[in-house]
Amino acid sequence: MLANEWTYHGGRLSSARAAYPQAPEPWIDLSTGINPHRWDADRAGPVDWGALPDEAALGALVQAAAAAFGVDPARVRALPGSELGLRQIGLFNTPGPARHVAPGYRSHAAALPASRPIATDALIDEAAQGGTILFANPNNPDGRILPRAALHAAVDAAVRAGGWLVVDEAFADACPGTSILPGLDPAAPVIVLRSFGKFFGLAGLRLGFAIAPADRLAALDDRLGSWPVSTAAIQIGTAAYRDRGWIAATRTRLGDDAAALDAVLRRHGFAPVGDCPLFRLIETDDAAGLFDRLARHGILTRPFDYAPRWLRLGLPDGPGALARLDRALQHG
């Protein structure tokens, strides 16, 4: 079985270099599902690192993000990463019992005390039982996307039962038409978490958002305080969300890149799974051996302790990286 350091989350390049010192450089990190074609942060202009975050500038960020999400800015709060939003769900005082869809993010089980795993296909029936359900759409690691009709059926069931839904939409920017937000009643018992870094390729900026009914945000505001995100996050995030041309072009590019990755994987006998273009899941009897083989070629992927036959691969950064993956899969 693979060591826990590889299965907990992606992005552990320093550990990979230590474990595989003979691997060629530069490493290709396919373990995270982050867009390799990042938005150019220099386009936001120089950041004044000596300035505290400005309240008006924060408001502009929220306006820009809300416009991208299709919601009222009064319902949006900026966070230092959507992961922190998961850790603050208790502030919304949602009812029990708690459930989370599995397989999914490892952190979902920890976000709600005593949460019980449920299958995606049971979402609507479980919502009809009340309580709080946490799930991702698109899901991770299988990339499954729930259709809008199923999402709103789950909302209707939750409303009737006095329950709540928490939807982790960390990958939704890459998949237009996926979000539950458009057309959602602003008072609906739904909390949505969005990530900036995955689609814009700037995960190190640590920027995310919570969207909820406006009357449920006071406790979160108290917890976040006056400066919830950095000056750099405000400036870069605002400019990036306003860059509609880049957003549209990047969605097309990611779809093309995912198709190219699919072709390589199929050529080597794998059946890639996933509707989100930022990553693919494959299944093989020798997932641990394949992880090790690719790592020896300087390619880091993501294994799973709860599913030892699975391996998730993010998008290679261009034709050269894809060709290197192709060779590694071919030659062993």
Please tell me the total count of domains within the chain.
Answer: 2
Mean pLDDT of the chain: 95
SS3 188: coil
CB 64, CB 237: distance < 8 Å: yes
Res 1 pLDDT > 50: no
Res 149 pLDDT > 80: yes
Query: Are 173 and 80 in a shared domain?
Result: yes
Query: Are 185 and 320 in a shared domain?
Result: no
Q: CATH number of the domain at 55, please.
A: 3.40.640.10
pLDDT at 206: 97
The partner residues of 98 in beta bridges, in order of sequence, read 132
Res 38 pLDDT > 80: yes
Domain boundary (242, 260, 293) is at: 242
Across 254-261, average pLDDT: 98
Query: Are 57 and 169 in a shared domain?
Result: yes
Query: Are 100 and 150 in a shared domain?
Result: yes
Query: Are 180 and 310 in a shared domain?
Result: no
Query: Are 97 and 220 in a shared domain?
Result: yes
Q: CATH number of the domain at 32, please.
A: 3.90.1150.10
Query: What's the pLDDT band for 4 if we cut at 50, 70, 90?
Result: low
The residue ranking higher by pLDDT, 107 or 253, is 253
Across 148-174, average pLDDT: 97
pLDDT tens profile 67-119: 999 999 999 999 999 999 999 999 999 999 999 999 988 889 889 889 999 99
Q: Pairing relation of β-strands 302-303 and 299-300?
A: unpaired
User: Can you give the residue range of the structural domain that contains 283?
Assistant: 4-38+245-331
Domain boundary (199, 223, 242) is at: 242
> Whole-angstrom Cα distance, residue 245 to residue 172?
17
Res 204 pLDDT > 70: yes
The partner residues of 210 in beta bridges, in order of sequence, read 77, 193
Across 268-275, average pLDDT: 97
> Whole-angstrom Cα distance, residue 209 to residue 34?
17
Q: Given phi > 0 = left and psi -120 to 50 = alpha, else beta, which region is 33?
A: left
**Alpha carbon separation from 126 to 118, 119, 331 (Å, rounded):** 8, 9, 47
Across 230-246, average pLDDT: 98
Query: Are 237 and 253 in a shared domain?
Result: no
pLDDT tens profile 289-299: 999 999 999 99
Query: Are 134 and 16 in a shared domain?
Result: no
Domain boundary (223, 242, 261) is at: 242
